[in-house]
Amino acid sequence: MTATPDRAFEAYFAERVARLRRSAYLLTGNWHDAEDVVQTAFVRLYSVWHRVREDTADAYVRKVLANVYLSSRRGQPGRERPVPDVPDGPAADPLPDVRLGLREALAALTPSQRTVVVLRYWEGMSVAETATALGISAGTVKSQTHRAVLAMRPYLIEEVH
Amino acid sequence: MRGALSTCLPDPEPPIGLDLEHIMRQGRRRQRVHRAIPLAAAAVTVLTVAVPWSFGSTGPASGGTLPVLGGSPSASIAMTSPAPPLAAVPPNQQTATVPPAQDPPPGTPAPSGTPSTAQPPPAQPAHRAPAGHAQDKDGDALAKTIVDRLPAGRTADYFGTRSATMVGARYGWGFHILWQDSGRYGYLMWLHRTKGAFPATIYGLPAEPCAELADRLPSYHCAPVTVSNGTATSFDVDTGDHRMRGIVWDQKDSAGGADMRVTVAFTLPAPGAWTPFSMLDTAPRLDTIPMSIQDMAKLMGIN
């Protein structure tokens, strides 16, 4: 980090917060929890900012984000999911069934499967990088991915074709 | 797949509600908390070394073995890092633990000169909570239970603390004991209920070391520990500022509700000074519960 640490952190935050928040949304399913997770990840990142190298900051914060999410989900299998608005009519969506189905399929995944999907396919991390970030084996990443894709496959037809 | 996932994102997105200043404040607080242990321990040391201690053991250093809890040989508190004999400690470091005369803390016995086996052992020191820690009767009671079972003079200081957070009808709390044994200081932190709203960070520990799969960082040197009830993992963390070895022990809360987590952390400063261990220390990792799990359970009202 070449600038003063706080300036560098501010710049990093400004550049990455939106993307990380989207990743967190895919993990948590709502913006409220997503911002909680992102905030915790940035707090942890800031606390070690002086030790983080520029080329490893992304990997570090993604790892923290995933782990914060997984920790927050443990012991809360039946937790209610807050929604910002109560739908009062059909949404005008060109692919309502597919889109809604994909959201539900994503939400129905286990937290670890969902984390693997988001890290691999949204963040573009490799199997090895995902395994390292989550502290699990590459084989576990592959099996989690396989199960997740199986569950989501009915809603991925548009993508495949 | 990425395109499909992008359809799961609402459009338009709501404005970002994160406060960078708040994040940086929390980050600084987290940094301070991580540095709190050596500072608190050093402060306690300064306050307590003026009190003359009559050590029960006058022989060579015992390798960090603490007095037995409950009198059972299986209940000994064994540290895997052997303490060097006193002769190995440079004279200037030996004397460095004895500061110039100063007023003893309130409630502690008055200084009475050079420690002597002919004198009765001093009473255990009075309870004292450091700044930033809320004194708590439950923490006090638990700390006192432990302290009363240690030979007088071994324990330099102790205090029970409680987090400021209350969830339902429960407080998170813990206690701290600073002891001195054969010229070697140790620091025990015993935290009760370190999950959820009571993260170990509020006591100065790294965030849940080894407690969850995601927190089993290589640098924590997590190692499974065999226990009869629940799961336990030892950790060995060197933050650069200090080194801690401890146990995280999860089991069902007998009072109902979520799982309960007990975190016991030892800091093992070098003899004669509160300096961090070297990362090159090749002492074996803590791989056994450092005290009887049964005693821990009894003391905490867990069966």
For A7-65, the pLDDT digits (tens) are: 889 999 999 999 999 999 999 888 877 888 888 889 888 888 888 887 788 888 898 89
pLDDT tens digit sequence for B132-155: 455 666 666 666 666 666 555 556
Answer whether residue A109 shows pLDDT above 80: yes
DSSP A85-147: S---S----SSHHHHHHHHHHHHHS-HHHHHHHIIIIIS---HHHHHHHHT--HHHHHHHHHH
Answer whether residue A123 shows pLDDT above 80: yes
- A116 in B contact zone (CB under 8 Å): no
Q: Which amino acid is at A38?
A: V
pLDDT of A151 reads 83
pLDDT of B283 reads 31
pLDDT classification of A98: cutoffs 50, 70, 90 = low
Closest CA to B34 of B201, B166, B181: B201
- Residue in B closest to A153 by C-alpha: B1
Closest CA to B161 of B180, B186, B183, B142: B142
> Residue ranges of the domains in chain B?
2-58+76-80, 133-300
| CB-based contact B1 A159, cutoff 8 Å | yes
Which DSSP state fits A150?
Answer: H
Q: pTM for the complete prediction?
A: 0.42
Closest CA to A51 of A14, A16, A9: A9
* Chain A environment of B214 (Cβ under 8 Å): 66-67, 70-71, 134-135
| Torsion angles phi and psi, residue B185, rounded to 5 | -90, 145
Number of helices (H) and strands (E) in chain A: give both, helices first. Answer: 8, 0
Higher pLDDT, B18 or A78: B18
pLDDT of B199 reads 60
Taking the C-alpha atoms of residue B12 and residue B53, their distance in angstroms, rounded to an integer, is 69
Picking from B23, B214, B259, the nearest residue to A43 by CB comes out as B23
What contacts A94, CB < 8 A, 6 or more positions away? none
Q: Which amino acid is at B255?
A: A
Answer whether residue A137 shows pLDDT above 50: yes
pLDDT of B165 reads 52
User: Testing the interface with B: which of A9, A27, A28, A43 to mutate, by most B Cβ within 10 A?
Assistant: A43
Answer whether residue A114 shows pLDDT above 50: yes
Closest CA to A36 of A52, A49, A20: A20
Higher pLDDT, A77 or B68: A77
The SS3 assignment for B292 reads coil
Order the strands of the B223-225 sheet from edge to edge.
B134-135, B155-167, B170-181, B184-192, B259-267, B243-252, B231-238, B223-225
- A135 in B contact zone (CB under 8 Å): yes
For chain B, which residues score pLDDT lower than 50? 36-117, 131-132, 181-185, 241, 255-259, 268-303
| CB-based contact B24 A39, cutoff 8 Å | no
pLDDT of A82 reads 37
Asked whether the ipTM of the predicted complex exceeds the cut of 0.90, the reply is: no
Interface of A with B in 50-109 (CB under 8 A): 66-67, 70-71, 74-75, 84, 95, 98-99, 102-103, 106
